[in-house]
Amino acid sequence: MKVFYQIGANIYFFVVRVFSLWNPKAKLFIKGGQEANEKLKSFSPKGEVYWFHCASLGEFEQARPLIEAIKLKKKSNQIVITFFSPSGYEIRKNYELADLVLYLPKDTTSNAIFLLDSIQPKAIFFIKYEFWANYLLEANTRKIPTYLVSGVFRKKQIFFKWYGGYMRKILNSFSGIYLQNTASKTLLDTINVKSVVTGDTRFDRVMKNAETVNKFSEIEKFIDNKKCIVIGSCWAEDEQVIFSTLNKRKDIKIIIAPHEIDEAHIKSIEIGLTKKSIRFSKINNSKSSRDFEVLIIDNIGMLMHLYQYANVAYVGGAFGKGLHNILEPASFGNPVIFGDKYSKFPEADEFLNAEIGFSIKNSTEFELIFNDLIVTDISAKVLTYMTSQKGATARIIKDIF
């Protein structure tokens, strides 16, 4: 099975290299991988080094509370962060608490030896779905503690198949596996892999963030004490479902922060929402922002701060690309509406069970749910649930240190 794993990894990296000829993200990945060796050669380990591997930006947000906790214990600790995706690396390559940020070199034994020789980690943290065999086995050989944080498992994964013996060996190489939910533990119990349910570290992160958001006076003027829906990270598939209902409502304000902010997409939103709209980049030039019904956010980085102004949130992605962050809006007490393709996101099931999240399949369902939530205040219920989920970071730190 090890041979098949390596063949699969090589094929994957070959395909990415081919895609890099025309795909900007793949090109960034290949370039970043080439730069990784030089960064490792120039790195000087000092004191205790802790390595965190995050596939992308979402996993980084799960790692961040642990990074901050480790830095708080001893500021001289060094933090190394590796990413697999450009969407994580390009945004967090200058993260202030990290001493080294780079793309994860291709998963080979020689690269694993070189990386571990270069950074000499005291402990290694892989986040959520990351199981790079050669790195984990080499760390295990060196008796370096390795931990899976905020892990999530599904029955369809290779670990639970008859042919998944090699990957089960990889799971058993972890010194500790910390899970988001009991369903994942139940699955791991069936293959005799030890684990602990500690929760999702993102709850600690978003609840802390909610206490330190920026205020925007121009947005407060735009809302003008009316009910408001904030639409976060939406795609065209989401807009086709929700716009017809929103166009009917004359008594609400709409803030929409699309996932893609290219000119074509912004214009399609301006056409699709048949209300008087303004872009955030132009709001200070308007005579009165109160006159507008729709505010389109045409920049990246504001979304988390916008949810403080919502009565209801809609989070996009679950009609196609994958559900985006529903924890952020809920950290402000907002009930969250999203599409119906959320099977890979356990927090969505948890929101549904707690009756603070609402999945829709079509425009009719959105209209019924939205019209109810915009007049029914369940913010206390949402915040009670979110507060109850805090503490994963402290539980992990206590167990490891």
Instruction: Give residue-wise pLDDT tens across range 100-134.
Output: 999 999 889 999 999 999 999 999 999 998 899 99
Q: In the prediction, which pLDDT does 13 show?
A: 61
The answer to whether residues 324 and 316 touch, using CB atoms and an 8 Å cutoff, is yes
Residue 256's DSSP bridge partners are: 231, 296
Tell me, what's the pLDDT at 257? 97
Task: Give the pLDDT of residue 18.
Answer: 57
pLDDT, residue 261, reads: 93
Q: Does domain 214-388 match CATH 3.40.50.1370?
A: no
Q: What gap in Å lies between CA 113 and CA 381, rounded to an integer?
A: 50
Percent of the chain with pLDDT over 90: 81
Contact by Cβ (8 Å): 131, 150: no
Residues ≥6 apart with Cβ < 8 Å to 46: 76, 78
Domain boundaries, the chain: 2-197, 214-388
**By C-alpha distance, which of 208, 210, 230 is closest to 296?**
230
CA distance 318 to 234: 9
Question: For residue 370, what pLDDT is reported?
Answer: 98
Whether 2-197 shares its CATH topology with 214-388 is answered yes
Token digits of residue 120? 């000499």
The answer for residues whose C-beta is within 8 angstroms of residue 228's C-beta and 6 or more apart is 252, 253, 254, 255, 309, 310, 311
Architecture of the 2-197 domain: 3-Layer(aba) Sandwich (3.40)
Average pLDDT, integer, range 330-348: 96
**Is the pTM higher than 0.85?**
yes
Which residue matches tokens 């985006």?
A: 324
Across the range 128-153, mean pLDDT stands at 95
CA end-to-end distance (rounded Å), the chain: 35
